Structure 1
């Protein structure tokens, strides 16, 4: 309210005061939601409820490999390992961003 009372415009107030305080939590939220979305999409595609077959999806790769699991079990590994590495990578990136942007976790000297 103080910036508004001295006549600061809406865009300038948004850019200088609100955006710097919101960008950290938004980055953390986005990087932590990506593994959830990837896992949900893979699960739905594995069940046949996801994207259609010309479009590549890890769920369809896992479903195709599951049909041949007795003869070629490495097909499940070929679809599962990238899925696990991607979700772990984005989770660790989100944790690192949280450690960087969270002011309550910083050490006091």
Structure 2
């Protein structure tokens, strides 16, 4: 067996969700879910993560920042990904993200 196929960190995404929203969006949302699972940032009773586009590019180095921006914008437009600015400094434009699980449920049942 080729070592590159199984020895690296696997990326799991839902096939049916990927068909509905696109590969890039499905991968990005899975990364958000992964980071949310260990986040201690709670705002308005929901867990949030924060990440700059440059930092996202380090997380998914096989995509350019512009591809990541398009995927995030697409997920925001679909109402699946919610973004906000919870930074203490108004000069800090790093976006914070959470998943809208209610909207995501509509994709599961639809």
Question: Do the structures match in fold with TM over 0.5?
Answer: no
Q: TM-score, normalised by structure 2?
A: 0.24
Bigger relative contact order (CA 8 A; separation at least 6): 1
Structure with more of its chain in strand, by fraction? 2
Look at both structures and tell me which one has the larger radius of gyration over its CA atoms. Answer: 1
Q: TM-score, normalised by structure 1?
A: 0.24
